[in-house]
Structure 1
Amino acid sequence: MVGWGANQYVSLLVHYREEHGFSEVLVTSLLGVYVLSLVPALLLGGRYSDRTGRKRLAILAVVLSMAASIALMGLAFGPVPLVIGRLLAGTATGLAMAAATSWVKELSQLPWDASSVPGSGARRASLLTSAGFWLGPVTGGMLVAWAPVPDILPYAVHILLCVPLLFVLVRLPETRTRQPRPGPHRAKQLAIGVTPAPSDSGQVTAGGHKRFWVVIAPAAPWVFAAATMGFVVIPEMVPAMREARLAYTTVAVAITMGCGVLIQPLARRLDTTSNARSLLTGVAVVLLGMGTALSAILLNSPVLGLVAAALLGCGNGLLMVGGLLELQRAAGPDELGTLTGFFYTLAYAGFLAPTVVAFIAQWVGNTSIITGTIALCAISLGVVALNSRKHLPQALERIETSQVV
């Protein structure tokens, strides 16, 4: 539901532009401005949930998501309530991504779930997050197109759906007991994502966390860069759809995020502990999607644009699941929330892609922008491939096991 609240604004982009006269830069800036509050919420929320627990932060995230929808209803007072609403949505999303993702992972193992298999937590968190990101804009798009009071109704529906969720969350168990505040040295290690483990020489070994920065981090920005390029940038750049952009955008959102959800079972099967196969596949699919998007622009083909949206959605789903599985193998229980915050911070950096594109498009042509994006994606693919088999977490586990023996 927090993902629903964060992404429902996407379906109103064209409505605000066409019915209220907002500029392209303004509406895409409002799409990305919530990253300003999301990033600190991710980093601080993840670390705080590691120390004090997941439940209270997850409940707070839902309450803030409802408050964001209330603020977004205030369009009659100008764009300022929209800015406030997007910032509240960013805070809610950051807290939910850091705390609730870790909570789902912990609830998907003993003693709370005796039937789950390894990776269930990552798969469930990714699937439900993607489902919210998908249902929010699709439902909002249908309400804007066919229901009355489009400035109010999509947000009201979200608020009403959140109310029963609060009662469910209150009844769920907490999975983390309050931990003592870390000392200065330990706090600094957590801030950079390092978990110390003594080696035979007494030095710190942190192979799993090195893997986070050289394998997961280069792929993470494409999680949401792929999605937003699919349902924001492509509808804007395909010239043939300028007159029917609202309907085309709604279809692009449904295809992009729908494929992101449907591809996730395959992402789980692709995952392996011996290399970064799931992440490599995800970045490669994004690269293919960007190439298809370039073809759609050059050929002025709405159909190719939707094919590109489907490929980019598949890349989003593959990278979301693959990144969380790699992350949860690398992170120890005391920094799961912290590293989850780092992962989503990098992932949400990609959410700024439409804002950057809209800004650059004032001076640079669409084909040049997409070509540059393809080059960046190819570089990321090369970095992940180069480090795919390096710093595997199992090596760290073997060192620790030998010390115990």
Structure 2
Amino acid sequence: MSVTTDRRKHWFPAALSLMMVGWGANQFVSLLVFYRQEHGFSEVMVTSMLGIYVVGLVPALLWGGRHSDRIGRKPVTLFAVTLSMAANVAMMGSVIGTAPLFGGRFMAGIATGLAMAAATSWVKELSQAPWDLHSAAGSGARRASLLTSAGFWLGPVVGGLLASFAPAPAIMPYALHIALCIPLLFIVARLPETRSSGTTGGTPGSHPAPHPGARKRFRLVVAPAAPWVFAAGTTGFAVVPAVIPGLGEGRLAYATAAVAITLGFSVLIQPLARRLDTVRNARSLLTGTTTAFLGLAAVLVAILAASPALGLVASAVLGSANGLLMVGGLLEIQRLAAAHELGKLTGFFYTLAYVGFLAPTVVAFAAQWIQTAWIMAGMLALCLVSLAFIGVNSRKYLPPLLERVDADPAVKVRKHKTS
């Protein structure tokens, strides 16, 4: 096997770390029914366990990205995988009370934040020269997003199956995850570091410093799209099963189908997402936000028509929006960020994206006074505002090289050949 072939595979274990941390974080979702039935946990207790996860996640996103820019991607990623394993060990203690679950969920949030900020940047850097000489431009963003989404999908699916059919359902899902993470740690430890401690320069092929318009483009183009990354996903698998009328005792099975469809379409759409991306405008983000708008419109029609089938169609569309926006957002970030700020800007993007996780909570709270159809109409209006912001600023504040590519076809041809 050649050295070049070896190098081309460096990105994969780094991306697997994203998948395994996402798996460990999301398998808890499929165990909620088990905890309600076997341990008698109240809705308030379950909601609090979901909330403590976010309390750990958001600071870790912001801190982990900055820290990985300074000391390197590898130590932060290794710590994230190790902490994910420790979180699962803690949650095995659910048989003795709720405290281990709260502690485990808090650690899982920290692990997820660290991995998404550091390992996402690491995958991007390992997908370019000198570590990978053959990847197309944008491969790093697609690879990181695809494996992250795969982990978010596999976690609840595998966890739910083990909780339903395997012995020791309070132990087995966590034990399997730990068993898979142990060999991964040894593999990840052997990967090359793309950032040296204390470096401030750029990695090969990246901008040495952010261009003057980078922060403006982030605020006016990326930030309006970011919350819809997870607002679309959570609406697809959490809001749809809750608001479609007439499901009765079939609501649990319907919710399981909605999770599988939403996250499955998120994974399947991502190869297309990179093809939609262009350096000339924000087409990928516009497409993703438009898809989110169409998904929300489908939810509204499904509510008014009391149609479970149309609700699942809406879940598929919203899952597609989730995948399109995640890849599109990461591609924008990786073009805008200087090498020494890639982790930090990635952390900012995911922090804004996780604001969308509040969508089911906001819908449930508002539904006490407002009909769900009107709530969905309000979400449609907010999505339209985001689309307007992105559309108006789509061609503004592009990195200088990309502006030259857009203006000079000869430069565009040369850049295409080098990609």
Task: Please report the TM-score for the alignment, with normalisation by the length of structure 1.
Answer: 0.88
Please report how far the alpha carbon of residue 40 of structure 1 lies from its aligned counterpart in structure 2 after TM superposition. Answer: 0.9
Count of aligned pairs between the two proteins: 381
1:217 positional shift:
0.7
Alignment of 1:19-34 (within 5 A): 19-34=38-53
Q: 1:143 aligns with which of 156, 162, 169?
A: 162
The aligned residue for residue 328 of structure 2 is: 322
For 2:269, the equivalent position in structure 1 comes to 263
Deviations 1:312-338 (A, max 9, x none): 100000001000001100011110011
Distance 1:242 1:162 in 2: 39
Amino acid at match of 1:310: A
Query: Match for residue 88 of structure 1?
Result: 107
Aligned equivalents of 2:274, 2:351: Cα separation in 1: 22
1:389–1:121 CA distance, 2 compared to 1 (3 A): same
Structure 1 residue 366 corresponds to structure 2 residue 385 = no
Deviates more, 1:308-317 or 1:207-216: 207-216
Query: 1:47-196 alignment to 2 at 5 Å?
Result: 47-179=66-198
Maintained 8 Å contact 2:88/2:174: yes
Cα drift, residue 180 of structure 1: 6.0
* Per-residue deviation, residues 315-367 of structure 1 (Å, max 9, x unmatched): 00000100000110001111001100101111111122223333333333322
Given candidates 211, 221, 224, the residue that maps to 2:217 is: 211
SS in 1 for 2:135: coil
Match of 1:228 in 2: 234
Q: Is the 8 A contact 1:141 1:250 kept in 2?
A: no
In 2, distance between residues paired with 1:18 and 1:133?
24
Instruction: Tell me if 1:285 matches 2:304.
Output: no
Structure 2 contact 230–354 (Cα < 8 Å) conserved:
yes
Residue pair 1:57, 1:99 contacting (<8 A) in 2 also: yes
- Taking a change above 3 Å as real, the CA distance of residues 196 and 129 of structure 1, as seen in their structure-2 partners, is closer
CA distance in structure 2 between the partners assigned to 1:380 and 1:215 by the alignment:
9
Change (3 A) 1:245 1:162: farther
Q: Which residue of 2 aligns with 1:402?
A: none
Closer, same or farther: CA 120–181 of 1 in aligned 2, 3 Å: closer
CA shift at 1:181, angstroms? 8.9
Q: Distance in 1 between matches of 2:174 and 2:199?
A: 40
User: How far is 1:285 from its partner?
Assistant: 0.7
Q: What is aligned with 2:313?
A: 307
Equivalent residue, structure 2, for 1:190: none
- The letter for the 2-side match of 1:10 is V
Alignment counterpart, residue 389 of structure 1, candidates 387, 395, 406 = 395
Q: Report the secondary structure of 2:173's partner residue.
A: helix
TM-superposed deviation, 1:237: 2.0
- Give the corresponding residue for 2:337: 331
Matched-pair contact (CA < 8 Å) for 1:327–1:339: yes
Contact 2:209-2:338 at 8 Å conserved across structures: no
The 3-state SS of whatever aligns with 1:385 is: helix
Q: Which amino acid aligns with 2:159?
A: G
For 1:156 and 1:299, the matched residues in 2 are separated by: 44
CA distance in 2, matches of 1:357, 1:236: 10
Unaligned runs of 5+ in 2: 1-19, 202-207, 405-419
RMSD in angstroms over aligned alpha carbons? 2.2
User: Following TM superposition, by how much is the alpha carbon of 1:31 offset from its aligned partner in structure 2, in angstroms?
Assistant: 2.5
CA contact (8 A) 1:29 1:355 kept: no
Give the C-alpha shift of residue 396 in structure 1: 8.2
Query: Within 1, Cα distance between the matches of 2:29 and 2:189?
Result: 30
Distance verdict in 2 for CA 1:304–1:13, change over 3 Å: farther
- Structure 1 residue matching 2:114: 3-state secondary structure: helix
Residues 106-148 of structure 1, C-alpha deviations (whole Å, 9 max, x = no match): 1111111111111111111111111111111111122233333
Counterpart Cα distance in 2 of 1:251 and 1:20: 24
CA–CA separation in structure 2 for the residues paired with 1:305 and 1:29: 27
Change (3 A) 1:369 1:45: same
Aligned-partner residue type, residue 307 of structure 1: V
Alignment match, 2:249:
243
Whether the 8 Å CA contact 2:279–2:402 is kept in 1: the answer is no
Most deviating of 353-362 and 130-139:
353-362
CA shift digits 1:226-280 (9 cap, x unpaired)? 1111111212222333413332222211111110011011111110011111101
Relative to 1, partners in 2 of residues 1:345 and 1:113: Cα closer, same or farther, differing over 3 Å?
Answer: same
Q: Find out whether 1:40 has 2:33 as its counterpart.
A: no
What is the CA–CA distance in structure 2 between the aligned matches of 1:77 and 1:181, rounded to whole Å? 48
Partner of 1:355: 361
Which residue is equivalent to 2:408? none
How many angstroms does 1:32 deviate by?
A: 3.7
Separation in 2, partners of 1:236, 1:175: 45
1-side partners of 2:116 and 2:375: how far apart? 30
Question: 2:186 is matched by which residue type in structure 1?
Answer: F
